[in-house]
Amino acid sequence: MNAVLRFDSIVTRFGRNLVHDGVTFTIERGEVAALIGGSGTGKSVLLKEAIGLLRPTAGRVELLGQDVGSADEAQLNMLRRRFGMLFQDGALFSSLSVAENIAVPFREHTHTPESLIAPLVGFKLSLVGLAPEVGDRMPAQLSGGMRKRVALARALALEPEILFLDEPTSGLDPIGARAFDRLIRTLADSLGLTVLLVTHDLDTLLSIIDRAIALADGKVIADGPVAAVAASDNPWLKDYFAARAPQGARDGT
Amino acid sequence: MDPPGSSPIHLSSEAGADVLYLQGSWRLDHAPAIAAAVAALPLRPGRTCMLDGSRLQELDTTTGFVLFHHLDELGFAANAIATRRMDEHHARLLSLVHERMRCAPVPAPLSSPSAVQRVGRATLRMVRDLAAHNGFVGQTALELLALLKRPQLFRLREMVAQFENATIDAIPIVALVTFLIGVVFAYLLGVQAQRYGATIFVVDGVGLAVCRELSPILVAVIVAGRSGAAFTAQIGSMKVQEEIDAISTLGLSPIQVLVIPRLVALAAGLPMLVFVGDLAGIAGGMLISTAQLGISIPSFVNRLHGTLDLSAVVIGLAKAPVFAVFIAMIACRMGMSVSRDARSVGDHTTSTVVQSIVWVIVLDAVFAIVLQILDV
């Protein structure tokens, strides 16, 4: 196994507010891992530190063998081509059509000929389970679930090795959320992707996640297979998993 | 990286089948080269096509798609393509690509409309806009009537806030612009009048032009750009944030809460701004008259008093509320009709300013003709 993402004693402080106080863990290639924790425990912050949008106060983040903290802009740009990020609300460019949104990474970062881009965009749409006709629509005309799928197609355009997802199922109805979960798992398995996602959604956790990492009080309080984390004695984790106790065992991994 | 000198694909014929050896790194970066190599292969549809993965190091969906897309275009049936000696992971990826591209017809290229189509669409949009404006004016009129019955519902605080924004804060810019126009107008008029020794008529000209035409038009244009744009942007972002729906849900009327205060504020404020413009424009004219034409301030004021008809000033002031109603109604309607994305707010704001300025000029022409017929 080789590590694609390594957090080493991360400390993050916003003013007086200590968010992370020595967070250390490693994600191996091919893992589908989830960060869980209450509101304000710095899950999204950790995600942003992994991709270089934020800098930790102390500690070291290593993504695909590169120290993110000491990377210069050129190195970061090389790195940016190797991961994909799905933002919470999709963050589609509202002035471009769906097809143009997906074509942006191809046009900006590759020499793909124009004659190939149109069929490729159609294929990427179908890869995330959308009809190619959706390509002509504007982002404002899409439902929440479709926006997420289009954003996923855009994040997958450059064939990333690692995919970051910030609350992928928030704002989706339960059926749409489960379908999106299955899509992520299918793609992760078929494309050999490493996935790190932040989620509050227990169903996501119980259905597609190999490994859960729980944050509380600035530290990792539990790390391991979902079933093991669910069996933890920590009061917050107990409450969290108890919310689903009646059917919890149904499809636990 | 590609091993030097080796092609990403190699074709050989074995036992009645075309065998394609995929070689080296099939990554997105090499997609153009792979597409070219694949296109150059002398493939014959009808025979079985065997994909051999024994020399393949890396594979991703884009390059896989490039291969299948080409085979598909040549007319290979799905069951005429087989794989062998594939790494398990590569095989899974290829089968996903193959399965998903089956249902992916190429989206039709976006055709850009011809000039005639564009003109036609723009015309239709204008007609639709006009109809919608009418509907909105009707709705607002009904809400105003309802307000007359229950005046305690009038949002005085909101009206005062808007009045402050649209009127008080606009005084410096209005005064500056009309002052400068007074200066320019008096200067140009003075140059002509001096030739005939008729410099005193500059006073008549400046007074009449500023009060009756220049100040109302300029002030309306400034207000359309300032407050009209602001109204659309404010209401538009509220629409995007679903605040308008929240207002309706709380049992309030968005028109009473948002539109009527702005309408009243602008209708009350614009005449006052025109009056400020009148003063500043005449002051500008007076400056040039004294400095350039040798008309002393007392004689300027005397002449103005004698020649400037009160009716000219009143006509100028009377146009202002009409302009104000048009600007406010256009701005609020465009704000209300914003759709749920960021670009729409910008588009509608621009449209408000353009429509308002056009309407101000059209109305001014209508005023000129009607007043001419009425002989005022």
Does the pLDDT at position B176 exceed 90?
yes
Average pLDDT along chain B: 88
Q: Which range is least confidently modeled, A15-24, B320-329, B346-355?
A: A15-24
- pLDDT at residue B151, as a whole number: 87
Q: Which residue of A has its CA nearest to B95?
A: A190
CB-based contact (8 Å) between B21 and chain A? no
Closest alpha carbon within chain B to A141: B340
Buried b (16+ CB within 10 A) or exposed e, A189-200: bbbbbbbbbbbe
Is residue A253 over pLDDT 80?
Answer: no
Residues of A in contact with B66 (CB under 8 A): 116
pLDDT at residue number B126: 86
What is the DSSP annotation of chain A? Answer: --EEEEEEEEEEEETTEEEEEEEEEEEETT-EEEEE-STTSSHHHHHHHHTTSS--SEEEEEETTEETTT--HHHHHHHHTTEEEE-TT----TTS-HHHHHHHHHHHH----HHHHHHHHHHHHHHTT--GGGGGS-GGGS-HHHHHHHHHHHHTTT--SEEEEESTTTTS-HHHHHHHHHHHHHHHHHHT-EEEEE---HHHHHHH-SEEEEEETTEEEEEE-HHHHHT---HHHHHHHHTTHHHHTTT--
- Compute the average pLDDT of residues B41-49: 79
Taking CB atoms and an 8 Å limit, are A122 and B105 in contact across chains? yes
Residue B106, pLDDT above cutoff 70: no
Q: B28 vs A190: CB contact, 8 Å cut-off?
A: no
Q: Which residues of chain B are within 8 Å of residue A140 when distances are taken between CB atoms?
A: 339-341, 344
Selecting from B32, B109, B344 the residue whose C-beta is nearest the C-beta of A111 gives B32
Span A196-217, pLDDT tens digits: 999 888 888 888 888 889 888 8
Q: What is the mean pLDDT of residues B131-147?
A: 92
Contacts of residue B103, Cβ cutoff 8 Å, sequence gap at least 6:
A126
> What digits encode the pLDDT tens for the residues B206-250?
999 999 999 999 999 999 999 999 999 999 999 988 888 888 888
DSSP-based three-state secondary structure for B1: coil
DSSP calls for A190-226: HHT-EEEEE---HHHHHHH-SEEEEEETTEEEEEE-H
| A173 in B contact zone (CB under 8 Å) | no
- Read off the pLDDT band of B110 (50, 70, 90): low
Residues of A within 8 A of B338 (CB-CB) are: none
Whether residues B107 and A135 touch (CB distance < 8 A) is answered with yes
Q: What is the pLDDT of residues A171-202, one digit of tens each?
A: 788 888 888 888 888 888 878 889 999 988 88
For A155-164, what is each residue's pLDDT tens digit?
888 888 899 9
Say if pTM beats, i.e. exceeds, 0.95. no
Q: Does A95 touch chain B (CB under 8 A)?
A: yes
Residue in A132, A138, A156 closest to B107 by CB: A132
Please report, rounded to a whole number, the percentage of residues in chain B having pLDDT higher than 70: 96
Residue, of B15 and B331, whose pLDDT is higher: B331
Residue A242, chain B, CB below 8 Å: the answer is no
Partners of B343 on chain A (C-beta within 8 Å) are: 94-95
Interchain proximity B31–A112, CB inside 8 Å: yes
Nearest CA in chain B to A130: B104
Which chain B residues are closer than 8 Å to A190 by Cβ?
92-93, 96
For A138, the closest chain B residue by CA position comes to B341
Asked if B182 and B190 count as a contact pair (C-beta separation under 8 A), the reply is: no
Chain B within 8 Å of A122 (Cβ-Cβ)?
yes
Flag whether residue A15 sits within 8 Å of chain B, measured between CB atoms. Answer: no
Instruction: Answer yes or no: is pLDDT of B350 > 70.
Output: yes
What's the confidence (pLDDT) of residue A251? Answer: 46
**Residue B52 — very low, low, confident or very high, per pLDDT cuts 50/70/90?**
confident
CB contact under 8 A, A132 and B106: yes
Q: Which of B30, B57, B60, B86 to mutate to test the interface with A (most CBs of A within 10 A)?
A: B60
Q: How much is the ipTM here? A: 0.74
By mean pLDDT, which of A94-98, A244-248, B91-95, B197-201 is the weakest? Answer: A244-248
Per-residue pLDDT band at A249 (split at 50, 70, 90):
very low
pLDDT of residue B4: 42
Contact A104, A57 (CB under 8 A): no
